[in-house]
Structure 1
Amino acid sequence: MRKIYLQTKTAHQMIYDFEDGHLKNIKYQKAENLQVGDIVSGVVHQVDQRLKAAFVDIGQSDLAYLAFDQVYNGQVHKGERLILQVERLATKTKKASVSSMIQLKSDALVYLPLENSINISNKLNADEQVQLKEKLDQIVDHGGVVARTVAGQLSFNELKEQYTHLKSKWDIVSRHHQSKGVILKEQSLFNQFLQSVSHSGVDKMIVDDLDKVQAFKQSFDHLSHLIQYDRQFYSNKPISITELYEQLSNRHVKLKNGAAITIDQTEALTAIDVDFGSFKDETSKHPPYLDINVEAAKESAKQIRNRNISGAIVIDFLNMKTKREQQMVMNVFRDEAENDDVKVHVVGFTRLGMLEVTRKRVNENVYQFLGVDERSLAKYDTFSYKELEENLLVYEANPDVDCVLVEVEPHQIVNWKTMIEKIAYRHRFHFECYIGQNNSLHAPYKLYKIGDVNWLLSRQEEGQLNIDKVF
């Protein structure tokens, strides 16, 4: 049975894809973050002719990088206002990259508002290309279009509807180009997923917000019979954020056959090491090292996808004896990587026998998203804030909860109070929340469910508790 959970209400938004109780795939984003594909308005802050690039203020904490080859005329001027699209997100060492070559996408068309050509997918045969070009010549009255393969299956009216929708997005951008910052958000994580997912093989799509259920059903009619609301979503979802941390930030991943892989992050690259672990299989026709490598190739591709690891990646498989064995393992990795929405480029085996892979950076990796140090795997406060938000939503679904108490260390009380206020603003909880100090905590915080707020206040009056109301 395949169940998909769409977590939309929290500041950390997630999609969990479970098949027969196992986490098959996961997608995530921060609700407020800049995303690849977002359209922004910015002002050129600095032009560097040596780098052939400009640095643009797009209303974020840091300037964005704009290469001259991403500008139609190849030049920009200091103080010039530009409409740009986010191409790559910022990292610790690199600025976000932007382009003036705007692309607005649907499943069938790519609209290029600043161009004037019509291009057809080469995957269609000659007759299909001619027929599609004739339709688009009648539809497109502004800008350029790239027709994807699926466009060949659409009627004239369906193509016109998609084109009109994309063009209306550009009209919005044009009207707001004077305001610095994000003008148009790329499709939400959920719309992207629901647009691409096939309903075949899916048994349920469970959502945490009733308004979102109605919106998804209206936008994706073919999925409406699968989409349902669960008031107890945060109690019933198969995995908590703490369990997710344990799964996706663990250096050691055990394989089905008892072997293991170890994943290590550095500034320069990600290294995945394969070892025998507790492997035991006397029934296979292949040498043990080959069975382990095949399973490790599958799991490595899955972990790269689910952890959203990008950049240079090397996989140190167990030594193989022939090029044919290496090719077999590389093909297995490629097949699993086909399930990845992000482009994965398999470079090949190095002279030292390691498989070299690169993957495009689109969004934050799982460590950055959860709030975990990539090397030590220690949790930052931001992880605890996410954990608390989910725990409070569990109580929100329980009408018997009158109030809650959050205990934190005295020196952290101001930070925690500010964060709890932000969480409360997002959700408007039905219960009251108090914060208290505790010098003997063994965790960043401790959460108590209080059935009767009067009991809590009476203990405060008796001097047994030092608490403050947050909301």
Structure 2
Amino acid sequence: MKTVYLQTIPTEKWAMVYQNDTLEQVLIERPEEKSLIGNIYKGRIVNIESSLQAAFVDFGQPKLGFLKKQEIPEARKDTSQSIEHVVHEGQHVWVQVMKDAYDQKGAQLTANVTLPGRNLVYLPLGNYFAVSRKMTDEQRSHLKTWAGGACQGEEGLIFRTHSAEVSLEDLERELVSLRESWTSLFRQYQYEKPPQTILEDFDIPDRLLRRFPEGDIESIFVDNLDMKQRIQQRIPELGGKTKWVADIQNQMPFSAEYISEQLLTRTITLDSGAQLVIDQTEAMVVIDVNTAKHTATSNKKTSVLKTNQEAAKEAAKQIRLRNLSGMILIDFIDMKDEKDQERVVSYFKKQLRQDYVRTQLFGFTRLGILEMTRKREAPSLSSVLGKGHTQSVMMSRASEAYQLERMLLSYQSNDQDIIAIEAHPDVIEAFKQRIDMKKLKSILYKDVYVLNNRESHVPFRIIHVGNVATLEERSFYKENVLDRLF
């Protein structure tokens, strides 16, 4: 059974999923880096690139979106037609973001929009049915037969894995609700001029909770009473499992800071003594299985296989937790026997089943390196937290600013009136740029002072918690070196 922690009051929002006190999944969202995936827009085609068989769409973002011909429902009716015969410049189109803008590339779009539900994904123009491959053939056939009778016109459906455990009556109710939602949106924006934001996908809590069957979740802890009420309204079946905990940081098995430190380290030591070394570049992710500390046994072949399977399990976990994506190469300990390679691939596939993001394995190369890809749905954890080896110092300061906010919030229930901190000026500058200090003060009910110290060896630290009288006794107050933060 899974336990979910949702820390949504801080500016940087965290969602963590544990199973038996083992961290399974982490999602992080910042206002300046919020994903657009799943959002629906009304856009306008500004250019058609014949050589790419794609259109560029103005949908209200700084960069034009990229719409391939195969992502236009009308083009699927006759795949031999060129994109110029399907759409034209100036045409209004409803689009949905499939992949966020990345580096110099704009977002990838689809005109085959979807509305996600708990068990179903509704495609008003999809005209096809897709069922999870994790279901049995009998379950897949049963659901497709039902969908053929329940859907209207060009509607399509995608069945989530846990939909097999839901009654057809409940699926029918969900389908009707999604259909009504789409009809309402279409009527509301049908005559509006683009660009328009039609629908923003739900934030982290909703996107996370949609992934799990109700029976998999034991408890949901939230730090925000409004969030508890929203979950109860949107996902009633999880309402009784949702608990509001004001001081959630003390309830979590591990703090956000500890998780950040663990998941950003380059080297992971396994129980056997072997190590995984994870390196990210712009082109790919490379995971090296290092035997530096591995103790050999008398049966080297068996030992290597066992260690590689242990490494495969940890690699699958780290890929999921760190949200590594794109091309991933894993350099396992060399195995001469092809059957051992097949055993490792089979075992690795089994571990990847826990991943909700699509992965594809291509097997071992002639050099003995396992090739795979993982769909890029959002930035990796290191790029979000800004402590990857290619990230700038300012990005790192942003992470420290969010950490400072969480630390201040941990004093929310403290009955003292004043908090004084010592911090590097760059951290305070990043804090002022990113944190809504008026909102934070209204939550804390405290005055916060800062002693700027450019020579500090730590980003920040608490130097005083008390009241006006106790503050005035401190030397840094008497020396008039404190600044009021808020």
Q: TM-score range by the shorter chain?
A: 0.7 to 0.9
Q: CA deviation at 1:275?
A: 1.6
Q: Does 1:132 align with 2:141?
A: no
Q: Is the 8 A contact 2:99 2:109 kept in 1?
A: yes
Q: CA deviation at 1:85?
A: 0.4
Q: CA deviation at 1:129?
A: 5.7
Q: CA deviation at 1:374?
A: 3.9
Structure 2 residue identity aligned to 1:228:
K
Q: Is the 8 A contact 2:6 2:14 kept in 1?
A: yes
Q: Does 1:163 align with 2:179?
A: no
Q: Is the 8 A contact 2:361 2:371 kept in 1?
A: yes
Aligned to 1:64: 65
Aligned to 2:80: none
Structure 2 residue identity aligned to 1:132:
W
Aligned to 1:319: 334
Aligned to 1:101: 112
* CA–CA distance in structure 2, aligned partners of residues 199 and 407 of structure 1: 45
Structure 1 residue identity aligned to 2:52:
L
Aligned residues: 466
Q: CA deviation at 1:44?
A: 3.4
Q: Is the 8 A contact 1:252 1:263 kept in 2?
A: yes
Structure 2 residue identity aligned to 1:25:
Q
SS in 1 for 2:376: coil
Q: Which moved more, 1:293-302 or 1:380-389?
A: 380-389
Instruction: Report the RMSD for the aligned CA atoms in angstroms.
Output: 3.4
Aligned to 1:363: 378
State TM-score, norm by structure 1.
0.86
Q: CA deviation at 1:69?
A: 2.9
**Residues 129 and 209 (structure 1), Cα distance of their counterparts in 2 relative to 1, 3 Å cut:** closer
Aligned to 2:354: 339
Q: Is the 8 A contact 1:346 1:358 kept in 2?
A: yes
Structure 2 residue identity aligned to 1:165:
S
Q: Does 1:294 align with 2:305?
A: no
Q: Is the 8 A contact 1:264 1:270 kept in 2?
A: yes
Aligned to 1:395: 411
**Residues 394 and 447 (structure 1), Cα distance of their counterparts in 2 relative to 1, 3 Å cut:** same
Structure 2 residue identity aligned to 1:392:
L
* CA–CA distance in structure 1, aligned partners of residues 336 and 280 of structure 2: 28
**Residues 284 and 16 (structure 1), Cα distance of their counterparts in 2 relative to 1, 3 Å cut:** farther
Q: Is the 8 A contact 2:42 2:198 kept in 1?
A: yes
SS in 2 for 1:231: coil
Structure 1 gap ranges (5+): none
Aligned to 1:381: 397
Aligned to 1:304: 319
Aligned to 1:52: 53
Q: CA deviation at 1:134?
A: 6.8
* CA–CA distance in structure 2, aligned partners of residues 355 and 411 of structure 1: 42
Q: Is the 8 A contact 2:401 2:427 kept in 1?
A: no
Aligned to 1:39: 40
Aligned to 1:329: 344
Aligned to 1:27: 27
After superposition, give the CA deviation of every residue in 1:413-457 in whole Å (9 maximum; x if it has no partner). Answer: 554333343583697432223344323322333444431145547
* CA–CA distance in structure 2, aligned partners of residues 446 and 345 of structure 1: 45
* CA–CA distance in structure 2, aligned partners of residues 131 and 201 of structure 1: 27
* CA–CA distance in structure 2, aligned partners of residues 147 and 280 of structure 1: 48
Q: Does 1:145 align with 2:156?
A: yes
Q: Is the 8 A contact 2:117 2:210 kept in 1?
A: no
* CA–CA distance in structure 2, aligned partners of residues 17 and 83 of structure 1: 34
Aligned to 1:260: 275
SS in 2 for 1:146: strand
Structure 2 residue identity aligned to 1:292:
T
**Residues 165 and 215 (structure 1), Cα distance of their counterparts in 2 relative to 1, 3 Å cut:** same
Structure 2 residue identity aligned to 1:22:
T
State TM-score, norm by structure 2.
0.84
* CA–CA distance in structure 1, aligned partners of residues 222 and 298 of structure 2: 44
